[in-house]
């Protein structure tokens, strides 16, 4: 259990969490216990155990977050809940993020990424991570204005806000303004640093692997050339047919494993393979350990998108979690990454500045100093 009260907290938060988890797993096996932030915790590094907690007996493991996070986002946001309220909110959020809904966003995402990249051109040093986030901050600034306008004009849009504003439960009750605000902000919160972190890793991995970059460039330039010749914009079906880029995105999600683990809390004593997980204990499924297990991913420290030419074994690849709380934004996140990579690889070259290695945690892992980089547009059309 480590030191009384502090347990493994210092080790976990003061160093690369990979080292903490990997060394514990090596010493104690796939299931082990420690104290994190004063709470007794069971850590799970086996895919069967993770499935047991997140899927099979999900009702016995409730989500748990620090109080500060609940306050920051708003306590009515869906990730803090279980049961009927969670199911209701999840349907609304999922509906607005389904492929049918997001396919209409291609043109907007394309225009936004193209203009952001345009503003990076010229060899100034860009803090890649910071800039990836800034583009998203604009969204939250306009949120309250849109809510006001929608309510005033009684607009019936089918997007996330529209779904939240127009939903009625079986008794005809609408969501309160607080529930709407908490969930809209909650989705922005869940969407922001996550996607920005992975995009930053993609910029780095492509930079560090020139052969792969060439393959991605040739895939994306062919699409751009075709669109230019036919006077068309990037469309949804083209985003469904970018196999090389798609594998780079999957491998970036695996390598970076930006959500290294998640937390649940046992709501009753639960037995798993002869171990008792006592009521009130935290349980941590360790996604990163599974993504870096050589049994499932040969030579796991190597960035090798070709490994995804074959589908990974069941429950070994969970960058978006698993079960009732799995990420409803995964299709949108992948769409944004595909479109960003399309614009970047087909039109720009870039050079990382300063140290090429090192990771910082805040709390998601990103390349050191947010990957300071210079960008140049290759062809001015
Ligand atoms: C690469 C980017 C992303 C990654 C790696 C990611 C990963 C995850 C993971 C692992 C979970 C599950 C956490 C758990 O089980 O405790 C999750 C939940 C969630 N994600 Fe994402 N996410 C990403 C982008 C997005 C985007 C773009 C959105 C929305 C537009 C989004 C919205 C959500 C929401 C609302 C939840 C909570 C779902 C629930 O509790 O039912 N995420 N995400």
pLDDT tens-digit map of 323-372:
999 999 999 999 999 999 999 999 999 999 977 788 888 778 899 989 99
Q: Which of 95, 194, 249, 317 has most ligand 1 atoms within 8 Å of CB, for mutation?
A: 194
Residue 195 near ligand 1, beta carbon < 6 Å: yes
Interior angle at CA 247, CA 97 and CA 336, nearest 5: 30
- What phi and psi values does residue 101 have, to the nearest 5 degrees? -80, -40
Q: Which helix (H) or strand (E) holds 288?
A: helix 287-291
Q: Count of CB atoms within 10 A of residue 337's CB?
A: 22
* Ligand 1 center to 79 CA (angstroms): 9
- Give the containing element (helix H, strand E) for 260: none
CA 122 to ligand 1 center in whole angstroms: 34
Q: How far apart are CA 368 and CA 381, in angstroms?
A: 34
* pLDDT score recorded for residue 225: 96
Could you tell me if 341 and 221 are in contact, meaning their C-beta atoms sit under 8 angstroms apart? Answer: no
What's the average model confidence in pLDDT over 72-89? 91
Which ligand 1 atom lies nearest to the CA of residue 78? 40
d(C-alpha 270, C-alpha 262), whole Å: 18
Strand order in the sheet with 264-266: 31-36, 39-44, 282-285, 264-266, 61-63
Position 319 scores a pLDDT of 98
**Does the C-beta of 332 come closer than 6 Å to ligand 1?**
yes
How far separated are the first and last CA of the chain, in Å rounded?
A: 61
Nearest CA to ligand 1 atom 40: 79
Predicted pLDDT at 136: 42
pLDDT band for position 135 (50/70/90)? very low
**Is residue 102's pLDDT more than 90?**
yes
113/106 Cα distance (integer angstroms): 11
Q: What is the pLDDT of residues 139-155, one digit of tens each?
A: 556 677 787 888 888 77
Element (H, E) at 101: helix 99-102
Distance in Å, CA 73 to ligand 1 centroid: 14
Ligand 1 atom at minimum distance from 79 CA: 40
344/221 Cα distance (integer angstroms):
10
Count of CA atoms in the C-beta half-sphere (13 A) of 192: 19
- Whole-angstrom Cα distance, residue 41 to residue 286? 12
* Exposed e or buried b per residue across 231-250, where buried means at least 16 C-beta atoms within 10 angstroms of its C-beta: eeebeeebbeebebbbbbbb
CA-closest residue to ligand 1 atom 3: 194
pTM, rounded to two decimals: 0.92
Long-range contacts of 138-147 (CB under 8 A, 24+ apart): 139/188, 140/185, 140/188, 143/184, 143/185, 143/188, 147/180, 147/181, 147/184
User: Measured in angstroms, how far is the CA atom of residue 271 from the centroid of ligand 1?
Assistant: 28
């Amino acid at each position: 259990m480590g030191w009384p009260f502090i347990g493994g907290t210092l080790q976990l938060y003061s160093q690369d969490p990979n080292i903490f988890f990997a060394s514990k797993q090596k010493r104690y096996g796939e299931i082990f216990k420690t104290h994190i932030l004063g709470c007794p915790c069971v850590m799970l590094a086996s895919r069967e155990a993770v499935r047991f907690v997140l899927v099979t007996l999900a009702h016995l493991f409730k989500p748990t977050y620090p109080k500060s996070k609940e306050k920051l986002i708003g306590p009515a946001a869906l990730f803090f809940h279980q049961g009927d309220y969670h199911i209701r909110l999840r349907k609304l959020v999922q509906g607005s993020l389904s492929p049918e809904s997001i396919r209409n966003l291609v043109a907007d995402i394309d225009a936004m990424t193209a203009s952001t990249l345009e503003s990076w051109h010229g060899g100034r040093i860009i803090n890649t991570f910071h800039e990836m986030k800034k583009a998203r901050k604009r969204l939250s600034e306009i949120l309250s204005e849109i809510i006001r306008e929608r309510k005033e004009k009684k607009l019936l849009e089918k997007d996330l806000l529209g779904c939240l504003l127009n939903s009625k439960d079986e008794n005809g009750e609408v969501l309160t303004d607080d529930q709407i605000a908490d969930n809209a902000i909650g989705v922005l919160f869940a969407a922001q640093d996550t996607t920005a972190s992975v995009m930053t890793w993609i910029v780095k991995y492509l930079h560090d692997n020139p052969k792969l970059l060439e393959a991605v460039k040739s895939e994306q330039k062919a699409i751009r050339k075709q669109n230019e010749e036919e006077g068309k914009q990037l469309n949804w079906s083209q985003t469904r047919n970018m196999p090389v880029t798609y594998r780079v995105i999957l491998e970036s999600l695996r390598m970076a494993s930006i959500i290294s683990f998640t937390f649940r809390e046992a709501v009753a004593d639960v037995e798993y393979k002869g171990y008792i997980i006592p009521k009130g204990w935290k349980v941590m499924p360790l996604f990163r350990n599974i993504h870096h297990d050589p049994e499932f991913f040969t030579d796991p420290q190597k960035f090798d998108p070709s490994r995804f030419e074959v589908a990974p074994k069941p429950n070994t690849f969970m960058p978006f979690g698993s079960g009732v709380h799995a990420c409803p934004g995964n299709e949108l996140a992948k769409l944004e990454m595909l479109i960003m990579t399309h614009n970047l690889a087909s039109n720009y070259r870039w050079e990382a500045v300063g140290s090429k290695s090192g990771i910082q945690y805040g709390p998601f892992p990103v390349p050191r100093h947010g990957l300071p980089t210079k960008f140049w547009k290759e062809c001015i059309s």
